[in-house]
Amino acid sequence: MVVHRQPLMLRAGEVLSYSLGIALLIFFAVQIARGEVQRHAAVESFHEQAVQVASLSSADEYANPEAAAASANAPALFRDTGAPDTSLWAPGRIADYQNSLTAEMPPILGVLEVPSVSLEVPVYQEGSALVMDRAAGVINGMAYPHEGGNIGISGHRDGYFRALKDVKVGDRIVLQTLQGEKHFTIDATTVVDKTDTTLLKDTPEQTVTLVTCYPFYFVGHAPQRFIVTASLDTTDVNHTRRN
């Protein structure tokens, strides 16, 4: 009796390939679920910080007039951003995002929204590579979302911030912070050399500066930066929420 080993080996290889594919799908599903749990925990941490600010201000209401004013401006809980839409992301960036899901992250300071391009992303306390693999981060040395001055936020061009390729002057930016919700209007989009930090300088007025690498679909280390600058919308008197 002749045994045909080659067909048997091919069949065994097919079974092994299917098994590996199923295992990978299960692995990615578990990673995404773990990321959702961690993301909710980060949002909850933000909420707890907001409650603490409100509680401390309330306790000092009579002893400290400034604390009483802070209590009046204590933020409500901000909206959950949900799972990221990765349809525009590069495959490698999706993998980096998945790898970041098990990492310990710094505090979350707010949520950045650009409604015109359906961008919603948590903003963390620092702009490290790990943070940008997960979300967006405050650029070192620039103002935090709840502070005055130039609020600098960076993100990867092939991840969350790829949506910025479609923003236009006049589009609205909403920034949820520990002091409430702030509204900004995009004044300009600028492409500069990666060493040009002119637009990252502090400003006397409250502004938002979004920074990502450019070109958006460049292969390798991008040589330029795409910068979005926006000013506080003074026509929106409710840029801080009140109780």
Asked about 183 being catalytic, the answer comes back as: no
Written as tens digits, the pLDDT of the chain (243 aa) is 555 556 666 676 676 777 776 776 676 566 555 555 554 555 555 555 554 544 444 344 333 433 433 333 333 444 667 788 899 999 999 999 999 988 998 889 999 999 999 999 999 999 999 999 999 999 999 999 999 999 999 999 999 999 999 999 999 999 999 888 999 999 999 999 999 999 999 999 999 999 999 999 999 999 999 999 999 998 764 444 433
pLDDT attached to residue 82 = 73
Asked about 4 being catalytic, the answer comes back as: no
Is the pTM higher than 0.85?
A: no
pLDDT attached to residue 25 = 67
The span from the CA of 133 to the CA of 90, in Å, is 12
**Which residue type, as a one-letter code, is found at position 215?**
P
CATH class of this structure's domain 5-232: mainly beta
- Residues 176, 113: contact at Cβ < 8 Å? yes
pLDDT attached to residue 49 = 55
pLDDT attached to residue 62 = 36
The span from the CA of 89 to the CA of 112, in Å, is 18
Within 8 A by CB and 6+ apart from 124, the residues are: 42, 105, 106, 107, 108, 109, 131, 134, 135, 136, 137, 138
pLDDT attached to residue 46 = 53
Q: Annotated catalytic residue: which of 4, 40, 47, 213?
A: 213
Q: Annotated catalytic residue: which of 146, 156, 183, 239?
A: 156
pLDDT attached to residue 19 = 72
